[in-house]
């Protein structure tokens, strides 16, 4: 025993464990570039060996730059590249429908990339649902609330909020104050979405700072994601278990995000209690929200738990806030930056809006060709989900040219790289609504702003009614 104690010194144990660690990871790296199912795919060996290659471009010393490095890898290796140990990235505009398939083709989300789906914070939201069948079930429950018919019934509510916004902008026009249009559009989007989802808006249109903290909190989630992918063992428990007051000491923005994620719980809990008091009966029509209707749906009871619905609400508020705000702000910027575009748009809008205060329906807006083309071009240039969008074909190999991509492999394209592909979109960084009128097939074949297939954006119809502001000025 004394010999063992004498032999097992701290230094020897440390050196032994270090040697085991080194040998293990050396074996992992060798396996990934030699015997791994993706070993023969084009790409740099450093990316194939380790996720640290992505860390270098997305976290430190660079920040969120890996997408542009991926483009450089495509320039060097061709249209199909292995960009980390488990991911295949394709840069080919004609290969969208195979990756983002619909119908009977099963496509799961990638759990590594969508790290928050494992955190417990957003695990029950539609946007972070990993499995195809569960996603299909949850989407079916939400889809009726974002249909053309349902959104058309929001005309008066949305019109009223646009008028509130127009009044504030008119005042600012007199005072000459400079505003950040992204925060302004975020206030509009948040008040519209929260009114529809929760039954009452958050009041951002009335706030002096336009509810800046909401958009900043949702942006924080984007900053956290690259860290969460690399360090799930640290980030996910922090989001799930640490109190905002404790997190506040280290990262005020992360703490605010945690509070915002929990915000819908009060409204969801109230709807659940109201339903329980009514013996499970449906609420009156004038008190209904998306989530009161979900409580009365045919979903299994475990899908109606307040925690699950709160996560769903947080997902809807997040998606409806930042993406919508960015799209509207960028679209309005490009419209006002071009007198030609602005003139054409005003002339067309006047055919259905004789007065700036006239309210119009979703159907009437969608019937305007130049307005629709302008919105589509704004969506193309706003890059709502600018990073890559992985999908996993669980039951089939994917064939790309001479390459067979094994089932279960996360395969993806990137919206930003796709929408700035000069082969498909000449002058890709110029705002040209006319391109969608001259070549209407572009939208069905190459438009990716809403995603594609079975996981396309469920709330796409909500952006258009929020956009006819240009006729007020």
Tell me the per-residue pLDDT of 195-223, one tens digit each, with 9 for 90 and over: 888 777 888 999 999 988 888 877 877 77
Question: Which is the CATH superfamily of the domain at 86-464?
Answer: Cytochrome P450 (1.10.630.10)
Query: How many CB atoms are located within 10 Å of the residue 44 CB?
Result: 15
pLDDT at 2 over 70: no
List helix spans (H) across 176-295: 181-198, 212-230, 232-241, 244-250, 252-262, 265-277, 290-295
The pLDDT value given to residue 127: 84
Q: Picking from 201-215, 422-436, 457-471, which range would have the lowest pLDDT averaged per residue? A: 457-471
* 64 annotated as a binding-site residue: no
User: Does the pLDDT at position 284 exceed 50?
Assistant: no
Percent share of the chain, pLDDT over 90: 45
What is the pTM for the complete model shown? 0.88
| pLDDT at 467 (0 to 100) | 59
pLDDT of amino acid 465: 64
pLDDT at residue 7 is higher than 70: no
Q: What pLDDT is recorded for position 281?
A: 47
Nearest CA among 378, 365, 462 for reference residue 161: 462
CA separation for the pair 52, 370 (Å, rounded): 46
Over residues 332-339, mean pLDDT: 95
Task: Using the structure block, give the residue that is written with the tokens 């979900």.
Answer: 294
Pairing of strands 388-393, 80-82: unpaired
The pLDDT mean for the chain works out to: 84
């Amino acid at each position: 025993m004394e010999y063992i104690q004498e032999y097992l010194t701290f230094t020897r144990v440390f050196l032994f464990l270090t040697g085991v660690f080194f040998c293990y990871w050396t074996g992992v790296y060798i396996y990934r570039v030699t015997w791994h199912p993706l070993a023969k795919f084009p790409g740099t060996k450093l990316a194939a060996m380790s996720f640290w290659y992505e860390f270098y471009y997305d976290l430190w010393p660079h920040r969120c730059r890996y997408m542009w490095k991926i483009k450089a890898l495509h320039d060097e290796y061709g249209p199909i590249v292995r960009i980390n140990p488990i991911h295949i990235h394709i840069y080919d505009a004609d290969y969208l429908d195979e990756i983002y398939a619909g119908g009977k083709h099963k496509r799961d989300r990638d759990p590594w990339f969508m790290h928050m789906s494992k955190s417990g914070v957003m695990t029950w939201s539609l946007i972070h649902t990993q499995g195809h069948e569960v996603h299909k079930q949850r989407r079916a429950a939400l889809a009726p609330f974002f249909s053309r018919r349902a959104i058309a019934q929001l005309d008066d509510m949305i019109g009223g909020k646009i008028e509130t916004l127009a009044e504030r902008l008119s005042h600012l026009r007199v005072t000459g104050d400079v505003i950040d249009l992204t925060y302004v559009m975020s206030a509009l989007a948040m008040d519209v979405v929260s009114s529809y989802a929760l039954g009452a808006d958050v009041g951002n249109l009335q706030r002096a700072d336009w509810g800046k903290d909401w958009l900043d909190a949702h942006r924080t989630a984007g900053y956290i994601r690259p860290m969460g992918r690399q360090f799930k063992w640290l980030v996910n428990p922090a989001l799930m278990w640490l109190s905002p007051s404790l997190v506040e000491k280290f990262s005020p923005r992360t703490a605010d995000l945690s509070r915002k994620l929990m915000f819908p719980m009060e409204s969801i809990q109230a709807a659940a209690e109201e339903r329980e008091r009514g013996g499970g009966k449906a609420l009156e029509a004038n008190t209904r929200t998306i989530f009161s209707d979900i409580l009365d749906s045919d979903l299994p009871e475990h899908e109606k738990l307040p925690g699950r619905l709160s996560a769903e609400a947080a997902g809807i508020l997040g998606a409806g806030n930042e993406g919508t705000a960015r799209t509207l702000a960028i679209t309005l910027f490009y419209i006002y930056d071009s007198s030609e575009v602005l003139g054409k748009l005003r002339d067309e809008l006047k055919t259905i809006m004789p007065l700036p205060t006239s309210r119009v329906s979703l159907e009437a807006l969608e019937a305007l060709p130049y307005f629709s083309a302008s919105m589509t071009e704004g969506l193309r240039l706003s890059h709502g989900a600018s990073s890559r969008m992985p999908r996993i074909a669980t039951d089939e190999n994917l064939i790309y040219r001479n390459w067979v991509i094994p089932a279960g492999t996360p395969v993806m394209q990137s919206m930003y790289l796709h929408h700035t592909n000069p082969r498909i979109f000449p002058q890709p960084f110029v705002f040209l609504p006319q391109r969608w009128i001259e070549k209407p097939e572009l939208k069905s074949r190459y438009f990716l702003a809403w995603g594609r297939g079975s996981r396309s954006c469920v709330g796409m119809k909500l952006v258009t009614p929020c956009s006819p502001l240009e006729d007020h000025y």
